[in-house]
Amino acid sequence: MNKPNFLLVDGMALLFRAFYATAVTGQFMINSKGLPTNGVQGFIKHMMTAVSRFKPTHVAVCWDMGSTTFRTEMFPQYKANRGEAPVELIPQFELVKEVVEAFDIPNIGIPGFEADDCIGTLARKAPGEVGVSILTGDKDILQLIDDRISVILLQKGYGNYLVHNRESFYIEKGIWPEQMIDLKALMGDPSDNYPGVRGIGEKTAIKLLQQFNNVEGILENLHQLTAGQRKKIEEDLEMLHLSRQLAEIKCDVEVECNLDTAFFKIDRDKVLDKFTEVEFRGLHKLIPAEQEVV
Task: Name the region of 258 (left: φ>0; alpha: ψ -120 to 50; beta: rest).
Answer: beta
Measured CA to CA in angstroms, residue 3 lies from 6, 55, 71 at distances of 10, 11, 36
- Helix, strand, coil tally for the chain in percent (to 5): 50, 10, 40
Consecutive 10-residue averages of pLDDT for the chain (294 residues): 90 96 91 96 97 97 95 96 92 98 97 97 95 97 97 95 97 97 97 96 98 98 97 97 98 95 96 96 86 45
pLDDT at 25: 87
Residues of the chain with CATH 3.40.50.1010: 5-173+249-286
Helix (H) or strand (E) segment spanning residue 149:
strand 149-154
Predicted confidence (pLDDT) per residue in 165-210, tens digit = 999 999 999 999 999 999 999 999 999 999 999 999 999 999 999 9
Query: What's the CA angle centered on 15, arms 196 and 284, to 5 degrees?
Result: 155
pLDDT at 1: 54
Q: Please name which of 249, 284, 10 lies closest in space to residue 140, comparing C-alpha atoms.
A: 249
Q: What is the fold of 177-247?
A: DNA polymerase; domain 1 (1.10.150)
Give the C-alpha separation, 150 to 97, whole Å.
25
Give the C-alpha separation, 58 to 132, whole Å.
9
pLDDT at 290: 61
Give the C-alpha separation, 270 to 252, whole Å.
34
Pick the CATH number of 5-173+249-286 from 3.90.1150.10, 3.40.50.720, 3.40.50.1010, 3.40.50.2020: 3.40.50.1010
